[in-house]
Amino acid sequence: MSDSLGRFEELILLALLRLGPEAYGLAVRRELEDRTGRDVSTGALYTALKRLEWRGLVSSRVGEPTAERGGRRRRHYRLEASGVLALRNSYYDYAKMSEGLGPKILEAVARIDGGAER
Amino acid sequence: MSRGTPPRLPSLMLRVALDPDIAEFVLGDLDEEFLERAAQMGRPRARRWYWKQAVTSAIRGCRLARGTRRPPRPASREKRFVMPIQDVIYGLRSFARRPGFTSLVIFILALGISFVTVVAGLAHSIFWGSVPYREPERIVMLWRKGPEPIHLREATSYVNIRDWAEGGAGVFDGVAAYTIGTSSIQRTEGAVRVMVTRVDPYFFEALDVDMAVGRPLIEADTRPSADDEIVVLSYGIWQSVFGGDPDIEGKSIDLGGRPYTVVGVMAPRTRWLLHEPLDVVVPIRPTSGMYQNRRANMLIAVGRLREGVTVEQAQARMRVVSLALQEEYPDANAGIEADVTSFADLRGDFGRLNEVVTVLGIAAGLVFLLSCISVTLLLLARFVERSREFAVRMALGATPRRFVYQTLAEGVSITLVAGAVGLGLAYAGIKLVFAGNPLNMYSFTDVRVHGSVFLLALLLALATTLLFGIVAMLRRTRSNFHDTLRPAGVGGGSRERNWLRRGLVIMQVAVSVAVLAGAGLVGRSLYVFTHTDYGFDTDHLVYVRLLLDGPQYDADRLRVAYRELEGRLAALPDVSDFGLWGPGLPGSSTSFRTLVPEGRETDPSFAGLHTWFHFVMPGSMERLGLRLLEGRMFDETDHAGALPSMVLSQSAARALWPGERAVGKRVVDQGGGWRTVVGVVSDARMRGMGRIHSEMLRDSYITLDQSPSPRTNIFLRATGSRAAVVNMVRNVVREIDPTRALFEVSTMDESMAEDRREMGFITTLMALFAVTTAILTTVTVYSAMSYATSRRTHEIGVRVALGGTKAHVVGLVLNRAVLDMALGLTVGGVSALALSRVMSGLLYGVTPTDPVAFILIGPALTAIALVAAFVPVRRALAVDPAEALRNH
């Protein structure tokens, strides 16, 4: 298995960073949906979290059962040091690659739109 | 609470489908959010949302979804790379502890690998290395097609081919006539037999021949100037006969006793014309009488289609041309058409070489398979031997995975070493095997080891040993290792592994049968060939080809010349027998005529009997050694003016009049009216080493006086050296016609030696395969038997203790082995029959189902098995009941 992060994994780690140590699945999923505007499957999320945990990038802790969850427990996730480092690498890569490209991307998009109109 | 309950069905589905590690948390999250959503946006929308989540989560989070299985822990990763290295070292060390076993395994595998590599090198050189022509789809062959099916694809006359070329100018870029014969290049160190191809210069263009040295033949080379003979050599001849002499261009060589100037050497890729090797190429001199004779059917043609013209279009055009020619030359061209065949369709046909390579390839492949099986069985047996060691190590904390790694590491390292040894053997083998140019093909100077073939063999060997190794290992690790810690042999292996082992043994025996049968058949062929009764005396026979063509030689002039020649030959000293014989050699004429017996000439269902045709001088047949069986031989009464007479071979007479006397009967001779059979002689057999059909022995003889042919052979039986004999003949011929040169000299021994050499080569290789097979089978049976015996030591001990006799014990050890042998022999017998059918073309005087070859295999293999079983049986007999039972 490669050491690099998948796109989905990156997004999860970013959400965890933003939400802090008490984040659990539901909160992460909402964060993802609210910010990206895309539907996220709960099953996919937990599968990815499980994978990240195996890789030592996140750790988890099981909470107490609650009534609104049908007597089920929550699982809280937190970012581990290696997760932070992985995130940093991903972020640097992205930042370096996209540095100064903002206007260019917009310009390119504008060209496509213009082309489509013509 | 009804508002708060999420829909049941999706929830249930999730509970079933989800990976149990995450199920609780996924369901909890969904419940929690469902509640919130139901409150915010109402139950129906919340339900819809829940359904959607359930479906995607069930897919992405189920037990089988990607990423739900645990990857190796990062902590163990480093160890993973270290362990195999340790295992390799451990494996190598354990091999070093048993050098005998190890070298046996390596040797067996190396043999298998090298056989495959050598034979593949040969096959590559013949089949794949020889597609040297540009746009081969445009190259076509043109043959004469007669009215009868047997006349498909035959040679025709030079003038006919020129007419075809002219008529077909619209569909062909050009057409070149050519003819192939044999001759020899005389060198101070001896003569080298070569194939001589006589061609129209367009030949080089049609086949797109590149030159390595000098120039190709050109139109000007066909001018008639007898002193100025030129030749183009193949790259192979240049290299092998002239050692790649850089100054070969312009040098004079002795080809068939005449000097030829070398003008060029073809590039290495041009080595073949269909299945004939292109050794040396000389120009046709079309002005000589032979080439102007419309009946002299001795050339075929190769042409290049015009761009965009199909073979069918060319064939259609040639049909029109042929019809016009039939009208123009009603005698010579009656019923004759031009057959146009695409070169690409014929390219794969290498005739006998196809069969040689196919059979050798199959045999080498089988031996390779055998070596893989043997090695697997050996490793398996060794693994069982070591299971105690494994058990101890496992008790001390080793994991089964380590044993897998170790077995794999051992398999890989041993195969790699074997590969290296095999590569060396292959190089040496090619040098040794092809050193004497055994297939008489100078085109084969580049038989070599091909990296890809070698790698493939190595990979196959690796795959086989690893596959079987892993299968055995997995079964072993699954079964309880602790059993093995108990005293030797108690309990033992599982039933399945026995089947694996027994299956391998049966397979091995079966394959051995096939290989041994093949070798036996080829060996028998060689024996039959070297002990063949040719029907005539081949001792000290020398042939000299003579051609008396040209306008000055009409029938009468030929008759006179032959009589004169006969008289002079008779006067030669030291010559015991002599004769004149045409157009081919005894027993190997290539021209035939159709005979129809009197009374059946109007029978439309009988197309006539094809007989090989010979013109002889009276006295030649008996001096050659043919025996008279009926009637009389030719004598002086069979002259030109007498009643047309004919002598038939026994086979021809039998085919024409089964069970009747032939003498006195009459036949219609396709070429010359009625003839009366005056005698029947014994068959003369000498047609290569291919299958002997009775059709091949159907010869008909006519006197040269009654049918004067410009092409004859002088044969002599003389005590002197070959050179002296040739010299005598040269002088005699010079006295008769000083302009004639002898263009081909060969001795009977020579032409037979060639066939014998080819057969000997095949036999040697097959014998090598057979010996290897025998050794491998011995090893396999031995290892299987000793394994079976050691596993049953305990049982044997019990039986002996209870009063079992020695015979009992032997039976115990042998019964299963005998059953396996029998099974293997049966399966092998069937596959051997299939193989023998493939090789029927290589056999001489032996049928593919030759009982001698087949019957010998059973006892041979049984003997091998008995030898192999001897030690284990003795070990079983020596079992001490007290010892065997002690630990129980």
Per-residue pLDDT tens digits for A74-99: 899 989 888 898 889 888 888 888 88
Using an 8 Å CB-CB cutoff, list chain A residues near B40.
Answer: none
Q: Do A74 and B59 touch (CB under 8 A)?
A: no
Largest CA distance in chain B: 134
Q: Do B25 and A44 touch (CB under 8 A)?
A: no
Can you read off the two tokens belonging to residue B321?
């041309």
Asked whether the beta carbons of B595 and B700 are under 8 A apart, the reply is yes
Size of the A and B interface in Cβ pairs below 8 Å: 96
A→B interface, C-beta within 8 Å:
1, 24-26, 29-30, 39, 41-44, 46-51, 54-56, 66, 68-70, 72-75
**What are residue A59's DSSP bridge partners?**
A78
Can you read off the two tokens belonging to residue B79?
């160890």
pLDDT of residue B262: 93
Asked whether the beta carbons of B787 and B501 are under 8 A apart, the reply is yes
Q: How far apart are CA B348 and CA B432, in angstroms?
A: 28
pLDDT of residue B701: 92
Asked whether the beta carbons of B93 and B99 are under 8 A apart, the reply is no
Asked whether the beta carbons of B211 and B267 are under 8 A apart, the reply is yes
Interface test with A, best of B5, B16, B21, B26 (most A CBs within 10 A): B26
**Rounded to a whole number, what is the distance in Å from the CA of B44 to chain A's nearest CA?**
18
Q: Do A42 and B53 touch (CB under 8 A)?
A: yes
Q: Do A73 and B24 touch (CB under 8 A)?
A: yes
Q: Do B27 and A72 touch (CB under 8 A)?
A: yes
Can you read off the two tokens belonging to residue B180?
């192939």
pLDDT of residue B634: 92
- Asked whether residue A2 carries a pLDDT value surpassing 60, the answer given is no
Give the contacts of A54 (CB within 8 A, at least 6 positions apart): B70, B71, B73
Q: Do A73 and B59 touch (CB under 8 A)?
A: no
Please tell me which residue of chain A has the smallest CA distance to B66: A47
Using an 8 Å CB-CB cutoff, list chain B residues near A68.
Answer: 4, 31-32, 35
What length is written for chain A?
118
pLDDT less than 50: residues of chain B: 1-2, 73-81, 347-350, 442-445, 478, 480-482, 485-496, 688-692, 888
pLDDT of residue B171: 92
What length is written for chain B?
888
Q: Would the pTM of this model clear 0.80, i.e. be above it?
A: no
Q: What is the per-residue pLDDT across B324-359, written as a single tens digit (0 to 9) for each?
A: 998 888 877 877 888 888 876 664 444 556 667 777
> How far is the first Cα of chain A from the last one, in angstroms, to the nearest whole number?
46
Can you read off the two tokens belonging to residue B678?
């005056």
Environment class of B823 (CB within 10 Å of its CB; exposed 0-12, middle 13-18, buried 19+): middle
Q: Do B26 and A25 touch (CB under 8 A)?
A: yes
Q: Work out the mean pLDDT of chain A and round it to a whole number.
A: 85
Among candidates A30, A44, A74 on the partner chain, residue whose Cβ is nearest the Cβ of B25? A74
- The sign of the torsion formed by the CA atoms of B306, B312, B316, B318 equals positive
Helix (H), strand (E) at residue B233: strand B230-233
Q: What is the per-residue pLDDT across B435-480, written as a single tens digit (0 to 9) for each?
A: 655 555 544 445 667 777 788 888 888 887 777 666 666 665 545 4
Please tell me which residue of chain A has the smallest CA distance to B35: A68
pLDDT of residue B681: 92
Please tell me which residue of chain A has the smallest CA distance to B67: A51
Asked whether the beta carbons of B199 and B217 are under 8 A apart, the reply is yes
Using an 8 Å CB-CB cutoff, list chain A residues near B56.
Answer: 39, 41-44
Q: Torsions phi, psi of B211, nearest 5?
A: -105, 135
**What are residue B580's DSSP bridge partners?**
B714
Residue B733: closest CA among B577, B564, B555: B564
- Asked whether residue A117 carries a pLDDT value surpassing 50, the answer given is no
- The tally of CA atoms less than 13 A away on the side-chain side of residue B213 is 21
Q: Do A50 and B53 touch (CB under 8 A)?
A: no
Using an 8 Å CB-CB cutoff, list chain A residues near B21.
Answer: 50
Helix (H), strand (E) at residue B505: helix B495-530
**What are residue B609's DSSP bridge partners?**
B595
Q: What is the per-residue pLDDT across B487-538, written as a single tens digit (0 to 9) for each?
A: 444 444 444 456 777 787 888 888 888 888 888 887 777 777 677 667 777 7
pLDDT of residue B769: 83
Phi-psi domain of B581 (left: phi exceeds 0; alpha: psi -120 through 50; beta: other): beta
**What are residue B176's DSSP bridge partners?**
B302
Q: Torsions phi, psi of B134, nearest 5?
A: -75, 135
pLDDT of residue B226: 53
> CA triplet B329, B334, B340: central angle to 5 degrees?
100
